[in-house]
């Protein structure tokens, strides 16, 4: 039939006999040919010429089949039967009905070709004849060991290929078997035992071989078939479950299907390399296994062994013997085999579990269950044989966010293992790749497993990419394993664009507090664990990783984290089931209250509970009792609040009309100066547009105004506020400005120019942070007065000099804020100088006077640099509190103190030309102090010795980075959250009126202005005052967005760089300073 010349005759005989023996490998092709032959014979003999072409195609098909057909070699074994017990009787009955195996000549040839192909590929498998099959008289106990009995035969592989369960192919010139497999697990709990369905033995009815399986249910996935269909087919044929029964009693979670790649040597096929896809699913019972309807099915309800006879084409094919096996027993058996394997490869298995070593159970779970690592046989270092190498593929995920102008990264600081052990760690989010999975997109799985986030939260709140920031490989000994590990690490960056998203509160955001996440299932030997996470600061461009803080910040941070942990723990289902959520809620409330108190520690220290003075007194509500409480409060506490203060009754706060007769005569003034207005209008026009400019050049203003610069600038920014707030004539305010200017000395740095600049920068910061619009009138005026007066009578020496030289001021103020106390005292001396009608506070109520004094004193004393970092620390803590608001006077005062402190060193954030001039002046003043200390025989203060100048650029750069920058960064952080901090200001006091209100006049109309300084003084109508206030308000409208960060901080960073780049300029400054010392 194979010869082309005799094909017609073979075709005719095939038509007549309706049968033609064919080799199974080409049966399909020959059937097609026969059908074609029949059709051609019936129609016309002329068509027989096409048979030659068909015959050629048939031959080509046979050759292709021979080239692509492959098998696997096993070990030879004798036929065996099921062990005594379940399935033996069923097997005997099946065997009696099974026909004797007959092999056609063509089939035998196909098997021989298949075997030849296997041998060519280095694989040897037994033939059925080698198993010495002896019919029904099988020697049940004559089989060899289970490993030999489990081998497949060439005929088995042939049948598998014909069923399209697998196919053979060459890959890289290596013979491989390709098959897709679905593996079904049946977990069940009977009593206290956790059991799993396992196929113990598989008996071939065709040739009587009994193979040891000890595997879950497995079935091949055929082409054009999904894993679910293959699973249902296996449940029906191998377990004996009808489709209706499956639908009623079984439940499969399709989403939980685990898909992995197969690439391993198959022992049952003699080591033939098998590739493909493995689908792993779990099948759960819908009802109770003890249900009466399940009795007799699958060995239920007792978990008995059972057997199922699989039929193929209506004939018995294989007998499957199933057992319900204890999960733990089965696992222990596998661990024992794993231990033997490790020992055979020279691994010191006795080291497992010793000291910091992982246990053998943990290592087995890692390699064979979670598959977080793999073992590879590599040539040994000595060149003798092979050794094992542990391979671990990791993805490191850098989760980053920007919290309050500071970049932070998420790190795990502690881990609590399932055995109760606690591990100190410091690592970012790390994810172990399983089963050779790709690192791309693994960061999402890492966040889900390690942080417990949902896919929706990850998609909405995190921004990542599949771009690898860094890849590295290393090989070293691991501390937890007695063998070397090959590490493959991919690093990926993931950003959180909106840390204040509500879904991220469980991650400690936006406050950046620590939190706890759970990985896996907690419980003994369940390999779950708890992670403690914290947000750590990243180095900035200057290399700084931590801000300089105090113990107060650390304490508040600990309280915040403890509060967050208590809240998170109280929401756990297990905690709620025990009724512990309510106590934990009370604990979190107490922690929050303590943290709020700590956030305003100064006020907390001043709070004294005086209710005890009333307990037990019959006259607790009497005037005497209240008087005692007032006495104790005002005498023995720092609470200086004055209650029930009478308001002067002789004052009227109704809008009044200003009489021009009260203003000084222009002729009288011009009689001294001889000019129209001394150029005041021109100077005012220069000042007003510059109110919103951070880099206002006051050196140029000094040249334009000569010695009257403070008075001119004060008239623009203070007079409109003071006259409307204090209800005094403008002349009184101008007289006050004159007294302030006369109390500034001609120092290189601490002079009137510095006072005006601090006033300007302080106001600019208050406006930028949106504090100014929430301030009361007396607070605005008080801030301006404090800024103008903050360095009155400064004589160019610092507090350290005063203390070291036993200066009278140091003795007066007990070495505490010496100069600052003096400045404050000088300020109030200027406020109260002159007759009563010449004093700025003459028309204020007692209550407002006390509030004004407290405000000014607080701001001036805050300029003491010895409390610089303490003030920054308190400010950080206070701003981080949820209760902070501009509607509270204490919060407005706190921000005001930080603004005046920043303004005091604000030259550091001015443009380079101005900053350089101020820096030279301050160094010059330092050197003058050092010269005096040298002359007095005192130790020369730091940075004050002109003979030890050192690197001026580096010292100035360090001053900017470590002293100035932290303060401005905190103001920048406040700027970020200013929208949440805004509130409604308090109700105004008795003195607060509209800014544009007109003012009552002194009965005398006196101005309090000396004739010597009358050149700069010109009477101004009330309309001019109102217009000046309006001009000042409109000037602030041109401020840029986020001005503190975009203007101040950025400029300061540039200046720090300039001190290193501008070498020639810095050297020129140093030479000038040295020359002045020599002169």
The catalytic residues are 750
Beta-bridge partner residues of 486: 391, 475
**CB under 8 Å, gap of 24 or more: what pairs does 599-605 form?**
599/556, 599/877, 599/878, 599/880, 599/881, 599/883, 599/884, 600/878, 600/881, 600/890, 601/552, 601/874, 601/877, 602/874, 603/890, 605/638
Give the whole-angstrom CA distance, residue 673 versus residue 1017.
Answer: 10
Q: Strand pairing of 373-379 and 515-519?
A: unpaired
Is residue 167 within 8 A of residue 180, CB to CB? The reply is no
Which residues of 193-257 form beta strands (DSSP E)? Answer: 193-204, 210-215, 217-220, 250-252
Give the whole-angstrom CA distance, residue 770 versus residue 764.
Answer: 10
Q: Strand pairing of 258-266 and 463-464?
A: unpaired
Beta-bridge partner residues of 475: 486
Is residue 921 within 8 A of residue 702, CB to CB? The reply is no
Residues in the chain, total: 1079
Give the whole-angstrom CA distance, residue 257 versus residue 253.
Answer: 7
Phi, psi of 1061 (to 5 degrees): -80, -40
936: tokens are 């007095």
Which residue in 203, 197, 195 sits closest to 235, CA to CA? 197
Q: Compute the C-alpha angle 132/137/140, nearest 5°.
A: 80
Cis preceding linkage at 732, omega within 30? no
H-state helical runs in 347-394? 360-364
Question: CA 175: distance to chain centroid?
Answer: 49
**CB under 8 Å, gap of 24 or more: what pairs does 547-554 form?**
547/406, 547/876, 547/966, 547/969, 548/869, 548/872, 548/962, 548/966, 549/869, 549/872, 549/873, 549/876, 550/869, 550/870, 550/873, 552/598, 552/601, 552/873, 552/874, 552/877, 553/873, 553/876, 553/877
Q: How far is CA 486 from CA 351, 379, 476, 1012, 1044, in A?
A: 20, 14, 7, 88, 50
Sign for the pseudo-dihedral over CA of 78, 81, 82, 83? negative
Give the whole-angstrom CA distance, residue 353 versus residue 360.
Answer: 7
Q: Compute the C-alpha angle 599/602/605, nearest 5°.
A: 105
Q: Name the one residue in this structure whose structure tokens are 């000396």.
A: 1010
Q: Name the one residue in this structure whose structure tokens are 């002729």.
A: 667
Q: What is the DSSP letter of 101?
A: P
Which residue in 276, 270, 268, 263 sits closest to 119, CA to CA? 270
Give the whole-angstrom CA distance, residue 459 versus residue 465.
Answer: 12
Is residue 823 within 8 A of residue 791, CB to CB? The reply is yes
User: What are the b/e assignments for 279-301, b being 16+ CB within 10 Å?
Assistant: bbbbbebeeebeeeebeebbbbb
The gap between the terminal CA atoms of the chain, to the nearest Å, is 125
Give the whole-angstrom CA distance, residue 1019 versus residue 240.
Answer: 111
């Amino acid at each position: 039939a194979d010869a082309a010349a005799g094909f017609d005759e073979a075709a005719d005989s095939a038509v007549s006999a309706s049968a033609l023996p064919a080799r199974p490998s080409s049966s399909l092709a020959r059937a097609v040919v026969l059908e074609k032959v029949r059709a051609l014979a019936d129609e016309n003999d002329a068509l027989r010429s096409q048979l030659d072409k068909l015959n050629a195609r048939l031959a080509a098909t046979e050759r292709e089949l021979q080239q692509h057909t492959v098998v696997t070699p096993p070990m030879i074994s004798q036929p065996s039967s099921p062990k005594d017990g379940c399935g033996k009787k069923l097997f005997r009955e099946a065997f009696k009905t099974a026909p004797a195996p007959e092999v056609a000549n063509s089939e035998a040839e196909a098997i021989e070709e298949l075997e030849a192909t296997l041998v060519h590929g280095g694989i040897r498998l037994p033939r059925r004849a080698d198993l010495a099959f002896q019919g029904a008289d099988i020697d049940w106990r004559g089989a060899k060991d289970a490993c030999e009995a489990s081998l497949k035969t060439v005929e088995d592989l042939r049948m598998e290929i014909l069923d399209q369960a697998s196919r053979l192919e060459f890959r890289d010139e290596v013979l491989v078997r390709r098959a897709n497999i679905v593996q079904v697990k049946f977990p069940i709990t009977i009593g206290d035992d956790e059991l799993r369905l396992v196929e113990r033995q598989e008996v071939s009815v065709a040739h009587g071989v009994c193979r040891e399986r000890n595997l879950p249910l497995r079935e091949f996935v055929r082409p054009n078939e999904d894993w679910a269909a293959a699973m249902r087919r296996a449940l029906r044929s191998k377990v004996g479950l009808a489709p209706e029964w499956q639908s009623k009693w079984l439940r499969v979670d399709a989403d939980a299907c685990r898909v992995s790649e197969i690439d391993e040597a198959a022992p049952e096929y003699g080591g033939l390399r098998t590739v493909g896809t493995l689908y792993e699913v779990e099948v759960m019972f819908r009802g109770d296994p003890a249900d009466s309807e399940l009795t007799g099915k699958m060995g239920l309800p007792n978990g008995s062994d059972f057997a199922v006879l699989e039929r193929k084409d209506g004939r018995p094919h294989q007998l499957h013997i199933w057992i319900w096996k204890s999960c733990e027993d089965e696992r222990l058996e596998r661990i024992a085999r794993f231990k033997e394997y490790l020992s055979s490869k020279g691994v010191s298995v006795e080291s497992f579990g010793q000291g910091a070593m992982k246990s053998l159970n943990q290592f087995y779970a890692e390699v064979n269950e979670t598959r977080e690592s793999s073992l590879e046989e590599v040539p040994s270092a000595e060149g003798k044989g092979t050794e094992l190498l542990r391979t671990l593929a990791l993805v490191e995920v850098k989760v980053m966010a920007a919290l309050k102008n500071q970049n932070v990264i998420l790190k795990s600081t502690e881990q609590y293992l399932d055995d109760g052990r606690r591990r100190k760690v410091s690592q970012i989010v790390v994810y172990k790749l399983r089963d050779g999975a790709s690192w791309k997109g693994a960061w999402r799985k890492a966040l889900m497993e390690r942080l417990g986030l949902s896919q929706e939260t990850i998609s909405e709140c995190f921004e990542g990419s599949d771009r690898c920031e860094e890849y590295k490989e290393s090989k070293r000994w691991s501390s937890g394993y007695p063998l070397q590990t090959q590490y493959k690490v991919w690093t990926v960056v993931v950003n959180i664009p909106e840390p204040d998203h509500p879904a991220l509160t469980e991650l400690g955001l936006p406050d950046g507090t620590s939190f706890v996440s759970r990985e896996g299932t907690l419980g003994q030997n369940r390999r779950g664990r708890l992670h403690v996470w914290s947000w750590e600061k990243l180095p900035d461009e200057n290399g700084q990783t931590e801000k300089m803080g105090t113990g107060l910040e650390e304490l508040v941070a600990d309280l915040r984290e403890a509060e967050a942990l208590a809240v998170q723990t109280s929401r756990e289902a297990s905690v709620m089931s025990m009724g512990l959520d309510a106590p934990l809620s009370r604990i979190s409330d107490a922690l929050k209250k303590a943290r709020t108190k700590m956030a305003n520690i100064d006020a907390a220290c001043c709070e004294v509970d005086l209710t005890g003075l009333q307990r037990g007194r019959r006259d607790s509500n009497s005037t005497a009792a209240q008087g005692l409480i007032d006495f104790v409060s005002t005498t023995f506490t720092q609470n200086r609040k004055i209650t029930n203060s009478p308001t002067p009754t002789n004052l009227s706060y109704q809008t009044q009309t200003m009489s021009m007769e009260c203003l000084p005569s222009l002729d009288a003034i011009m009689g001294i100066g001889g000019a129209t207005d001394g150029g005041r209008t021109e100077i005012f026009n220069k000042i007003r547009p510059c109110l919103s400019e951070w880099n206002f050049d006051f050196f140029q203003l000094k040249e334009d105004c000569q010695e009257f610069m403070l008075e001119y600038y004060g008239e623009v920014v203070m007079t409109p506020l003071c006259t409307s707030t204090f209800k005094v004539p403008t002349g009184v305010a101008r007289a006050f400005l004159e007294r302030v200017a006369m109390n500034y000395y001609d120092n290189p740095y601490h002079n009137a120019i510095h006072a005006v600049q601090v006033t300007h920068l302080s106001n600019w910061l208050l406006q930028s942070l949106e504090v100014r619009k929430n301030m009361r009138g007396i607070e605005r005026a008080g801030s301006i007065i404090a800024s103008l007066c903050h360095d009155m009578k400064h004589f160019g020496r610092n507090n350290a000099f005063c203390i070291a030289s036993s200066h009278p001021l140091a003795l007066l103020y007990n070495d505490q804020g010496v100069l600052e106390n003096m400045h404050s005292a000088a300020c109030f001396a200027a406020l109260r100088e002159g007759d009563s009608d010449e004093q700025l506070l003459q028309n204020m109520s007692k209550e407002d006077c006390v509030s004004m004094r407290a405000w000014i004193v607080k701001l001036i004393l805050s300029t003491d640099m010895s409390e610089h970092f303490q003030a920054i620390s308190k400010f950080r803590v206070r701003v981080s509190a949820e209760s902070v608001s501009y509607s509270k006077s204490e919060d407005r005062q706190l921000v005001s103190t930080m603004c005046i402190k920043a303004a005091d060193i604000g030259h550091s954030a001015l443009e380079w030309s101005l900053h350089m001039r101020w820096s030279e002046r301050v160094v010059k003043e330092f050197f003058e102090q050092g010269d005096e200390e040298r002359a007095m025989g005192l130790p020369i203060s730091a940075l004050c010795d002109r003979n030890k100048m050192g690197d001026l650029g580096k010292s100035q750069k360090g001053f900017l980075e470590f002293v100035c920058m932290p303060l401005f960064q905190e103001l920048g952080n406040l700027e970020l959250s200013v929208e949440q901090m805004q509130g409604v200001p308090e109700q105004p006091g008795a003195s607060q009126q509209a800014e544009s209100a007109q003012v009552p006049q002194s009965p005398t109309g006196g101005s309090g202005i000396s004739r010597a300084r009358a050149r700069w003084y010109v009477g101004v109508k009330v309309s001019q005052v109102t217009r000046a206030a309006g001009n000042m308000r409109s000037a602030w409208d041109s401020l840029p967005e986020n001005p503190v960060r975009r203007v101040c901080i950025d400029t300061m960073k540039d200046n720090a760089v300039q001190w290193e780049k501008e070498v020639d300029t810095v050297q020129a400054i140093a030479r000038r300073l040295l020359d002045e010392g020599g002169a």
